[in-house]
A and B are shown apart, each in its own frame.
Chain A
Amino acid sequence: MNAKPRTLPLSKRGMSFETFMWAFTRATALGMYGFILFGVVGALAMGAQHSMTFVEVLRWALVSNPGHVEYTNLPDITPFASMFWRLVASGMFLTAGSHGIHGVIVVLDDYLPKDNQRNWNRYLNMAMFFVVAAAGLYIIWTA
């Protein structure tokens, strides 16, 4: 009886682009959960330290962009514009963006039977992602 563990090494099963992106999408989904949890806990902590209203906490929670607490009653938004929080905001933004754009590519792929159509679908959506990512990062780091 064959009782040895059955595991195929990567060299035998290979890793196609499709498989990699499937795993990537799951990983980014988990990453988003992490960022959201971190953002909510971080917002509550910042709210306690700086006497934020609940509305301000909510605005800050998901994307820790200093622009989200600008024009509020907070007297000083410098702590919200630290490199740490900008990095957290960038991480959340890029993770969510890449997860979402891959979802769009996969759904459109269903309706594109030809290889060159699928390639164009990928190129156009990735180009769109890079443009949006550049604009988003510019806002996060200059706000």
Chain B
Amino acid sequence: MEVTVKIFRYNPEKDQRGNYVTYKIEADPNDRVLDVLEHIKGKEDGTLSFRRSCAHGVCGSDAMRINGRNMLACKTLVRDVGANITVEPLLGLKVAKDLIVDMGPFFDNYKKMLPYLINDNPIPADGKERLQSPEQRARFDESTKCILCAACTTSCPSFWANDEYYGPAALVTAHRFIFDSRDEGADQRLHVISETNGSVRCHTAYNCTEACPRDIHITQAIGEIKLAMVTGKLE
């Protein structure tokens, strides 16, 4: 099938502002949008820039706006988006070149959540590990699936309005550790999250949940954090 691909192009060394370039190529309906972009870069225009790494929906590098929705190019089939495809960079982050955005602010917010296990207690004397029951593990299982692709954060209208907001991805990271029974740093994280740019900026638009390529129920996770802030319950 012939596919018309309209791609946002921006070269900071040449362009004052971005523009759209249209390419017409042959593609199989079962091709992924990433394959289409690879074809254009390899055969049509080698200056096209975009991020990709594993190409299997695990690394989260190729999140972009495809026909107006945040998706991973490697998990989106041509047959699902049709013969007319518009590809744009993620909203809310500064465009570095073409489809590449500056992920610096995104990862700065991620780091504010202290994304590592905090536990200064000594390891149990009778074992080598801090054990956890399957139920305790299941409590935060879903938030461990986050691949930090930024599809959620850059689909959030609160983040578009105010990029100081930590965003859904950072809050999912906080959720992953706050509800981990082995972790002792929940108070530090809740202090950060309860700030002006924390979870109260979430107005439950549900865009993040819709955009997540890992099907994490992000809005629910943020709601659980809000409840933990008020009740103190970390179960």
Inter-subunit contact B230/A110 (CB<8 Å): no
Inter-subunit contact B194/A18 (CB<8 Å): yes
Please report the C-alpha to C-alpha distance between residue A8 and residue B232 in the assembled complex, in whole angstroms. Answer: 5
Inter-subunit contact B229/A6 (CB<8 Å): no
B53 interface residue per 8 A CB criterion:
no
Nearest A residue to B231 via CB reads A7
Inter-subunit contact B131/A14 (CB<8 Å): no
> C-beta contact mask, B183-221 vs A, less than 8 Å → 1, else 0?
000110011001110111101000000000000000000
Name B235's contact: one of A1, A6, A21 (CB within 8 Å). Answer: A6
Inter-subunit contact A22/B162 (CB<8 Å): no
Q: Using Cβ atoms and an 8 Å threshold, which residues of chain B touch A2?
A: 130-132, 136, 181-182
B226 interface residue per 8 A CB criterion:
yes
Inter-subunit contact B229/A1 (CB<8 Å): no
Nearest B residue to A12 via CB reads B187
Q: A110-B158, A111-B161, A118-B196 are in contact. Are A8 and B190 (CB under 8 A)?
A: yes
Q: Using Cβ atoms and an 8 Å threshold, which residues of chain B touch A75?
A: none
Name A18's contact: one of B195, B228, B234 (CB within 8 Å). Answer: B195
Inter-subunit contact B162/A113 (CB<8 Å): yes
Inter-subunit contact A109/B181 (CB<8 Å): no
Inter-subunit contact A13/B196 (CB<8 Å): no
B164 interface residue per 8 A CB criterion:
yes
Q: A19-B230, A113-B164 are in contact. Are A5 and B235 (CB under 8 A)?
A: yes
Nearest A residue to B191 via CB reads A14
Inter-subunit contact A1/B226 (CB<8 Å): no
Q: Using Cβ atoms and an 8 Å threshold, which residues of chain B touch A111?
A: 161-162
> C-beta contact mask, A72-112 vs B, less than 8 Å → 1, else 0?
00000000000000000000000000000000001101111
How far does the Cβ of A100 sit from chain B's closest Cβ, in whole Å? 15
Which residues of A, 1-30, contact B by the 8 Å Cβ criterion?
1-3, 5-10, 12-16, 18-19, 21-23
Please report the C-alpha to C-alpha distance between residue A110 and residue B161 in the assembled complex, in whole angstroms. Answer: 6
Please report the C-alpha to C-alpha distance between residue A41 and residue B235 in the assembled complex, in whole angstroms. Answer: 39
Q: Using Cβ atoms and an 8 Å threshold, which residues of chain A touch B182?
A: 2
Q: Using Cβ atoms and an 8 Å threshold, which residues of chain A touch B194?
A: 13-16, 18-19
B233 interface residue per 8 A CB criterion:
yes
Please report the C-alpha to C-alpha distance between residue A112 and residue B198 in the assembled complex, in whole angstroms. Answer: 14
Q: Using Cβ atoms and an 8 Å threshold, which residues of chain B touch A109?
A: 162, 196, 201
B133 interface residue per 8 A CB criterion:
yes
Please report the C-alpha to C-alpha distance between residue A22 and residue B227 in the assembled complex, in whole angstroms. Answer: 10
20 A-B pairs with CB atoms under 8 Å apart are A1-B132, A1-B136, A5-B235, A6-B181, A6-B186, A7-B231, A7-B234, A8-B186, A8-B234, A9-B232, A13-B186, A13-B228, A19-B194, A21-B200, A107-B203, A110-B161, A110-B201, A110-B203, A111-B162, A113-B164
B residues with a Cβ closer than 8 A to A are 130-133, 136, 158, 161-162, 164-165, 181-182, 186-187, 190-191, 194-196, 198-201, 203, 226, 228-235
